[in-house]
Amino acid sequence: MSTKKQLRIGLIGCGFMGRTHSNGYLRVKNFFPDLAYQPVLKAVCSRTESKARAFAEQWGYESVETDWKALIARNDIDAVDICTPNDMHAEIAIAAAAAGKMILCEKPLARTLKESEGMVDAIEKAGVANTVWYNYRRLPAVTLAKQIIDSGKLGRIFHYRANFLQDWTINADLPQGGAALWRMDADVAGSGVVGDLLSHCIDTALWLNGSITNVTAMTETFVKERMHQLTGKVEKVNIDDACSFLCRFSNGSLGLFESTRYARGHKALYTFEINGENASIRWDLHDLNRLEYFDNADDSTLRGWRSIHVTDGDQPYMDKWWVPGLGIGYEHSFVHQAADFLKSLETGAPCSPTFKEALETQKVCQAVLDSAASGAWKDTEAL
């Protein structure tokens, strides 16, 4: 019999993200044994009962629901984890907050800034613990980048550059909408690469380099019409397929961001590079255990880009895993976020990014979309 305090989870949504979060809850018990709280997979909810049952069996949930309102009404659920498509985030989060549940929400917080603001109001009013799953922050190499920047080693920052490149929508015959392709449907997703991919880049950038003051952006929708899976008709595509933007950070540095689903050959190439006065760092999701670092203070005959294999026990999170030299993967970022959320319940400190912090990412996303629509620079503070 465990002596741990229980955090009874109700998961809503059984897709890709439902799996990543469930794996996080399961593994955290094994690899973070010192936490006072332990997740208990109480219930999973999907509109389709057979899907919920199969998911519950596969991941070990004790029960199923087919109506998220019923799940929220249960008094054996402490925390609601929202893994639905984006159009349900706000309604569920607001109802869950009103019911006094803690909330873990998949990114992006919502489809629009307006929806996100309503969510933040609800959560602040309820005073419940909350977090948004911007998981890449919790890869050890990315957390190490944060530690290096915070230690001041880079000096004054001049440039922040990030990309998130994919190629899965190039085929013009790919339909839009429906269960698997809701990311292609603006009514459900809110936006295309801006909300889905650039939101990750923006979250990391705000964390590493501080706030963004203004942006100028362009977007493109390369395939203008696609068959909609729900109506069976060819309909206008309203999402952005690609987006590039320039921005200024409040620390005076310049930012350059690009994301597309039309970069043939790239499946999920998330990269960033930061150039400071004294040193630079860069990171690449395809080689996620490595952080590259250049320090101008090194002896000039030996100076060059170091490739740091972030697997040592004194590097972020790595004392929890194997032995130095052995890497971890994408899924571990979710284990780490689950662990950090549980730890935050113990310490009372918020688990970053909270809804309020994720609202800043939404503001930048909104500024990017507004700027692309108007062709003008957009001030984030005016939003």
Q: How far is the CB of 304 from ligand SOE (least distance, A)?
A: 31
Query: Nearest to residue 225, comparing CAs of 184, 180, 165?
Result: 184
- Which of the residues 113 through 172 are near ligand SOE (CB under 6 A)? 166
- Which of the residues 80 through 109 are near ligand SOE (CB under 6 A)? none
Report the distance separating Cα 369 and Cα 363, nearest Å: 10
Q: How far is the CB of 83 from ligand SOE (least distance, A)?
A: 11
For ligand SOE, what does the binding mask look like between residues 195 and 234, x meaning CB under 6 A?
A: -x---x----------------------------------
23/38 with CB nearer ligand SOE: 23
117/196 with CB nearer ligand SOE: 196
Tell me which of 174, 256, 268, 269 binds ligand SOE, using CB under 6 A: 268
169/214 with CB nearer ligand SOE: 169
Q: How far is the CB of 348 from ligand SOE (least distance, A)?
A: 29
Instruction: Indicate the residue type of 37.
Output: Y
User: Which residues, in sequence order, are bridge partners of residue 12?
Assistant: 45, 82
Q: How far is the CB of 22 from ligand SOE (least distance, A)?
A: 16
Q: How far is the CB of 165 from ligand SOE (least distance, A)?
A: 11
Q: How far is the CB of 128 from ligand SOE (least distance, A)?
A: 24
Cβ atoms of 105 and 93 within 8 Å: the answer is yes
Residue with smallest beta-carbon separation from ligand SOE: 196
Half-sphere exposure of 371 (CA within 13 A, CB side): 24
The 3-class secondary structure across 326-347, one letter per residue, is CCCCCHHHHHHHHHHHHHHHHH
Q: What is the largest CA-CA distance in the chain?
A: 67
Applying CB under 6 A, what is the total number of residues that bind ligand SOE?
Answer: 4
Cβ atoms of 133 and 341 within 8 Å: the answer is no
Q: What 3-state class would DSSP assign to 207?
A: helix
Cβ atoms of 185 and 195 within 8 Å: the answer is no
Report the distance separating Cα 339 and Cα 351, nearest Å: 10
- Which of the residues 329 through 358 are near ligand SOE (CB under 6 A)? none
Residues that bind ligand SOE (CB under 6 A): 166, 196, 200, 268
